[in-house]
Each structure stands twice: as C-alpha cells, then as structure tokens.
Amino acid sequence: MNWLHTWAGVVLGGVLFAIFWMGTLSVFDREIDLWMKPSTRVEAVQPLSVDAVAGELKPLVGDTVQWFMRFPTEREPAVRIGYRGTSGPFIQRSIDPATLKLMPEEGTLAGTGFIFPFHYSLNIRAWSLGYWIVGLAAMAMLALCVSGVVIHRKIFTEFFTFRADKQPRRLVLDLHNVTGVLGLPFHFIISLSGLIIFFSIYFPSTTELAYGGDRRSFNQEAFGNYTRPKAGAPATSAVSLDSLVLEASRLWGGGKPFFVRVWHPGDANSYVEIRRSYDDAVTMNLDLVHFDAATGAVLYTYTAAPVLNAQRFISGLHFIQFRHWTLRWVYFALGLTGCLLIATGYLFWLESRRTTHERLGLRGARVVEGIAVGSVTGIVVATLAFFVVNRLLPLGATFLGEDRAALEVWTFYIVWVATFSHAWLRPGKAWLEQSGTIAGLAVAAVILNWITTGHHLGTSLATAHLRAIAGMDLLLLAGAAIAGHAALRLARKARRRAATTPGRLSAL
C-alpha cells in the first residue's frame, strides 16, 4: 500500500493537480466568464419574453436547422443564443436581456469554454484520449484515498497534529495528513462521481450489450432524444413561444424552464423543445417537453427513469449547478485542499529523497522536482497568464491566422510548457521565482481589469450585478498575497542556506 500510494502520486500527481486546479476554478466558471467577457456584465431581466427574442433573431438566423436560447440567471445574466444553418459551424452569441440586441463577440473561451472542459478532458479531443487520461487519474485518486487511510494507521490523531515549528519535511507531512483527512470524503466522492458521469465512455460495453449496438434507442430511452423530419413545406401558423413556456411550467408543477430550442423554424413540421431548470435541486434532471410549433400540441414528454436519475443526482453532486452559495464556497475550499494535498505529497517525496539521490548521483529527485514545479506553480502561472492576455488583447485580434480565443489558449500552453523548462533550468530557485511570478501576474490581472473596463473594487463591491467581478479580483489579490508571502519566505531561507552552505540551495 505504501508503494502504491507513493508511485501513484508521483507518476500521476501532475495530471491530478491539473484536474483538481481546473475543477476548483470551474466551481466559479460562470463568474470567470463575466470577468473575461466585460460586455456580459449586465443585470439579468426576469421575466423575459421568448417571442421577443425570436423576433430579434429572425433576420439573423434565416433558414436554420435549429436555434436555441438559454434564459438569463444570476450567474449568467446575458441571454445565450445559438443556431446552426444547413452548412457551416454552430454559432453562439450573447444578447443583452434589456435591449435584446446582440453583444459584441468577446473572442474568448473563458471559464465555461476552456477551464471547465480542461477539468474533465484536458481539452484533448482526439480519440477521447483526454477523457481516458482523466479517468485513469480518477482511478488513481481513489487508490490514493484508500491506500492513504491504510498506511496512516493513526490518521485521525494525525489530523490534529500540525507542527509548524518543525523541520520542513515534518511540516509538509503534517500538512499533507491534515488536508488528506479533512477532504477525504470530498476527494473520494468527487473522483468516483467523475467516473460515473462519463459511464458511456468508460463502460461502453454495457449499452452495447443491453441495446445490441443500437445507440439511437439508448439515447432515446436514457436521455429523451426526439426528432421529427422537415416537411419541406412552409408553416402556415405558429403559436406563441411564451405560451408554450407557461404550459411546460404547468406540466412540471411550477418548475421553471431554462432552455428553449426551435427545430426546423418556418417549416410545417417545426417543433419546440423546452427543458426544465435544475438550479433548485441537486439532481440535474433531464425533464423536457416537445410541442408542435404550429398547434401547440404536446408531441413528447420525458422524465428520466430511476437508474438514470441516480446518475444525474451523482452528476449534480459533482457539478454543483444548484443555487447554494455556501456550498459553492465549501466546494471551492475543498478543491483547494485537494491541490494542497497533491503539492505537499510531491514536496514530502522530494525532501525524503533529495539528499540520497544527490549522494548516489541519481537524477530522479531533479526530474520529479521539475515535474512538481511545472504541475503546481506552473499551471497557476499559466492560468494567470490566460487571464492577463485576455485583458491585453483587443477585440478582434488575430496573429498568424489565429483568432483572439486561440491566442489566449496558445498563451496558456506556451507559458505552462515554459514553467517546466524553467523548473529544470533553475533547480533550487524555481519555486521561489514562480511564486513571485504568480504574485505579479495576479496583481497585474486586477489592475488590467480596472484599466480596460473601469470596474475597480470600489465600483464592483457597490454594484449588485458586479459582485462576481469583485469576488474574482479579491481572490486574485488573496492569491497574490499568499504567493508573495511564500516567495519572501523562500528567499529568506535561500539566503540563510547560502550563508551556511555556499553553492547549495534547497527549494524548501
């Protein structure tokens, strides 16, 4: 168990830290969207007329296969619309809920488009490879949780033991134990639920066996998929979309819709899909109803069966899409304990073997330290660079054929790779220098947000619909303070060690 715990952590610790870091940020992915998309910092308007939105969209969408809209919420105040024509890409834009006019194209993937998918797929789409890597890491995390309990026989005693005045190796181990016990239930459930969410990827043979390879039947029974072909003739009448929204709410016993999609608009066989909101419950329900667009008749209704409802409840525990700000902050804090757990595991491994490896002329500690630095401080530096370049690039910016969103993503990956190189080129100093970089970038992000939008803390704290921006700025400043403090302590320790043993510096 000790061997399993050690090597599962060392080999997959970097991937696990990236997953936990991006997952922790994803707790506030929509707030990150607001920070990175200043034009969407508007007040949500309720109730909103779907007919009015459809009227504004009509000249824009033209002859489309479908168009949809998502209702504004407290966390996402702009109306989100999307449409797909008979050819070309699927287009998504935001609409001001007050004026129903299209907002400027922001040119960024932001939190929901980059950070959130990175958490579960590493943004590696080819052959679903990213999903499989994350799945392997989740299995490793489950093994780490179980083996950690086994090898720490006095685990609950160790939870109340934190010796801040001891040597770094003892301090790091105590911090590792405390964060491990504190977050153990959360870390186990969040890893297991991540596997259950993507059951169709990790366990495809179950659906192949039960449905004889008929994926369409599975999707219809499991997720309520419904289709009706175009008639090829123009529609002669259409009912009010607002009336269909009210009828859907009535069918759900007062449940609120959050999503409306019109299929084959303008065709005689056009129909309307309305999905129920799940912001008032843990279970991410799949309740939906389809109406005939011409007559308003109910064509198809769907409510998930018990087995899938159980899966959707587990998904809701993982994604925390329901309204509960206290729990959202608890998830954020526990996500950070997962990051701290992985980081301290790396540090303890390094401090336990550094001297031995140097004496024997082994390079293992040097290699692992480079991986640890790039995985821990490196991804934080890259994330902050992602935020900073978002505020520096003008709208519509392009370079070498890449648009603004792609340039932000390239910045993230280039900086992240550079932090690994820096870690191997600057052994003993990389922790200090990257901590200082984190502090500088975090402060720069706050200042650039102020300069480019005019929303400084004095404004955002005093304005209700800008509180999310204030929260983002405050967290950036808190992160800068922590990283700056760490950099100063590392610098003092490096000077003391250099004075006593010239030419040899320790990262801790």
**3-state class of 381 per DSSP?**
helix
Tokens of 301: 């209704």
pLDDT, residue 361, reads 76
Radius of gyration of the chain from Cα atoms?
26
Three-state DSSP state, 133: helix
pLDDT at position 163: 58
pTM of the predicted model, to two decimals? 0.92
Peptide bond into 47 cis (omega under 30): yes
Q: Return the residue matching tokens 């610790």.
A: 13
Could you tell me how many residues make up the chain?
A: 508
Query: What CA–CA distance (Å, rounded) separates 405 from 185?
Result: 37
Contact 241, 54 (CB under 8 A): yes
How far apart CA 366 and CA 375 sit, in angstroms, is 14
Q: Supply the pLDDT for residue 505.
A: 42
pLDDT tens for the 508 residues of the chain, in order: 989 998 899 999 999 999 999 999 999 999 999 999 999 999 887 788 999 999 888 887 777 888 999 999 989 999 999 988 666 778 889 999 988 889 988 899 999 999 999 999 999 988 899 999 999 999 999 999 999 888 877 666 666 665 555 566 667 877 888 888 889 999 999 999 999 999 889 988 888 888 888 888 888 888 999 999 998 888 888 899 999 999 999 999 999 999 999 999 989 999 999 999 999 999 999 999 999 999 999 999 999 999 999 999 999 999 999 999 999 999 999 999 999 999 999 988 888 887 787 777 777 788 899 999 999 999 999 999 999 999 999 998 999 999 999 999 999 999 999 999 999 999 889 999 999 999 999 999 999 999 999 999 999 999 988 999 999 999 999 999 999 999 998 898 888 877 776 544 444 4
Return the axis-axis angle of helices 364-373 and 404-425, rounded to nearest 10°.
150
Nearest to 41 by CA among 470, 459, 476, 469: 469
Residue position matching structure tokens 């008749």: 297
Pairwise CA distance, residues 50 & 130, whole Å: 37
SS3 79: strand
Distance of CA 285 to the CA centre of its chain: 20
Q: How far apart are CA 176 and CA 158, in angstroms?
A: 10
Contact 388, 444 (CB under 8 A): yes
Of 335, 366, 331, the closest CA to residue 349 belongs to: 366
Q: From CA 106, how far away is CA 465, in angstroms rounded?
A: 19
List phi, psi (to 5°) of 271. -140, 160
Within its chain, how far is the Cα of 17 from the centroid?
Answer: 13
